[in-house]
Every structure is written in C-alpha cells, then in structure tokens.
Amino acid sequence: MKARIYITLKTGVLDPQGKAVHHALGALGFEEAQDVRQGKYIEMEVADGTPRARVEEMCERLLANTVIENYRVELDGETALGDQGA
Amino acid sequence: MKSAVIVFPGSNCDRDMAVALERVAGSKPQMVWHGESELPDVDLIALPGGFSYGDYLRTGAIAANSPIMRAVKDAAEEGRHILGVCNGFQMLTEAGILPGALLRNAGLDYVCRDVSLTVENSGTPFTLAYEGGETIRIPVAHHDGNYYADEDTLNRLEDEGQIVFRYGEAVNGSQRNIAGIRNKRGNVLGMMPHPERLVEAELGGTDGRRLFEGLAKTLS
C-alpha cells in the first residue's frame, strides 16, 4: 500500500526558497500568489497493514527534522484497517 | 593528542582536516570509514566538511544515521572531544548532539569566501589559543549554513556561553550571527567556517591553526 508523507517547514522558520519562488511568480504576473512555503512530498510503498505509528517513526527518525519541520502522513486503506489515526 | 577523522561518502575536507591535525599534533589521525561501528581510542574525533550523501534529504541527515554515528553519540556523552566542521556541524545537529538546525542560506547563494568571526567564548578547549572577543578570519564554503533554533534555545545558548563563534558580517542569515556552538558540557563544537583551511601562512594565514593548537594543548 501507499504512504504519502508531506513535510513542511514550521511556522516561523525562514523559507528562502519559498520566498524566491513567490518572487518569481510575481515577476510572471501571478499577483494572486500571496505567500509560498516550499516543502517535500514523499511517496512510499509500504507493506500492507503497516501501522501509521511505524511510518510516523520513520518521519521522526529520518524523513523530517522536527526541529524545523512538521510532517503529515496519509495511508491508503487506513480506515478499512480500523486505525484511529488521521 | 590522538585523533580520528570520520570519512563519509561525499566528504571532501577529510584530508585537509587530517593534514591540519597532523601538522599541529605531530601524529597522523586515523581515518575511520562511516560504516564502522567502533571508534579507535582517540582524544579527538573530527567530522569533516563536504557533501555526504550528496546532501540528499537534508544536509547531514543521512550521515547522521551512519553506523559510526552511534559510537560518536556515545563518545559525546562520555565527554570525548568532537569537532564538526561545516557538513560535520550539520551532522551534529541532525544527530541531536548539538541543538538547532542549519537551513538554506538566506540569500540562496552558495557562500565561499573568507569571513570575519568573533571568538565569543575563549574558555573552551577549542578556543584556548584565542583571546576572548578577538576577531579572526576563516573561510566559509556552504549553501546551508543558516543557523536556526527557537528563541528559548537561542537564549539558553547565550546564557550558557555555548555560542563560541559569531560572524562579524552578514554571511548566511544565521540567527544571532551564530557561526559555531558547543554543547552544554563543552566537549563538542560545531562550526560552519573551516579552520583546517588556514593552518599555514603560505596558504593565507594561520587563524585556523590556533583552534587545533588549543585542542592539542588540552588533550595532550
């Protein structure tokens, strides 16, 4: 099954790349873009039945740096397996 | 002073570090591959600069989980001396041995030049050979050297004298101009500038040499 992991910078952490992207969008005339924060999206194939806690552990230990980043995990078929997460 | 330099795939300042250590301490450091799980019996462990694992995921993140880093963590807790330069500093924060994180430079540029530094704390084994408040010049070469920590952590670093070097000019957007910090116990130093690149007058100066001299004096 598929795990989708979204990693974003915490509020208050400077994001120079997001700023540059925002600036470039403005230069292209997309004035509607008011703020840009850049993050990471990781798509992972995990063994069927992998509990959410296990994927969260991967985030805590490697995929995200929780000093500066937040993460959100989406698991395929999680409700069907009766997990309490999300 | 017996020392070891840890070599990761993508390290590129490991040999400069080894030369600096040998020049000052008089004995060749042991080069230890990151896949080892045990450290040799040495006084100083150096984590060199470079681009371990191509900076994939986050700088230093994958190296921080190398087998040898468990031993480095234990050594830090035992009070052995550890010096992390540039990518080595990034690894130390990623491993949780030092607080905070190193973000992309605020100006987005890779910064590669000599910068002025203020020695904020000359009471550490790493800075014994400097005067407190002294200004020195040491090169930086990094894309992700923008030090970040939350306000409470920054205040604690200030209060405990853990800020060892501060930039004397705008370099990368680091909070409170932090260029190098030590842990609370004082046996671990992480810094973005490269002292190992300035150990001989022929190469532009010796401001970096004194860091190794201080260590050699303490650890011999």
Q: Quote the domain boundaries for residue B121.
A: 3-219
The whole-angstrom separation of Cα B182 and Cα B177 is: 15
Q: Is residue A46 part of a domain?
A: yes
* Chain B residues in contact with A63 (beta carbon < 8 A): 57
The reply to whether residue A62 touches residue B61, judged by beta carbons under 8 angstroms, is yes
Is B86 an annotated catalytic residue? yes
Q: Is residue A80 part of a domain?
A: no
* Chain A residues in contact with B173 (beta carbon < 8 A): 14, 16
Asked whether B4 and B40 are in contact (CB, 8 A), the reply is yes
Q: Is residue A65 part of a domain?
A: yes
From the number of C-beta atoms within 10 Å of its C-beta (0-12, 13-18, 19+), residue B83 rates as: buried
Report the domain count for chain B: 1
Report the domain count for chain A: 1
In chain B, where do the E strands start and end? Answer: 3-7, 30-33, 44-47, 81-85, 101-103, 111-119, 135-142, 146-148, 163-167, 178-182, 188-191
Mean pLDDT computed over A60-85: 81
CATH number of the domain to which A16 belongs: 3.30.1280.10
Interface test with A, best of B65, B148, B154 (most A CBs within 10 A): B148
Q: What stretches of chain A show up as alpha helix (H) in DSSP?
A: 16-27, 52-58
ipTM: 0.86
Q: Is residue A66 part of a domain?
A: yes
Number of H helices, E strands in chain A: 2, 3
Interface test with B, best of A38, A68, A69, A71 (most B CBs within 10 A): A68
Q: Is residue A51 part of a domain?
A: yes
Q: Is residue A86 part of a domain?
A: no
Q: Quote the domain boundaries for residue A59.
A: 2-75
From the number of C-beta atoms within 10 Å of its C-beta (0-12, 13-18, 19+), residue B174 rates as: buried
Q: Is residue A28 part of a domain?
A: yes
Q: Is residue A83 part of a domain?
A: no
What parts of chain B have a pLDDT lower than 50? none
Contacts of A19 (CB under 8 A, 6+ apart): A36
pLDDT at A80 over 80: no
- pLDDT for B220 equals 85
Confidence tier at A79 by pLDDT (50, 70, 90): low
CATH number of the domain to which B31 belongs: 3.40.50.880
Asked whether B164 and B192 are in contact (CB, 8 A), the reply is no
Question: What is residue B20's three-state secondary structure?
Answer: helix
The whole-angstrom separation of Cα B79 and Cα B44 is: 10
Q: What percent of chain A has pLDDT over 70?
A: 91
pLDDT at A82 over 70: no
Write out pLDDT tens, residues A12-52.
Answer: 898 999 999 999 999 999 999 999 999 999 999 999 999 99
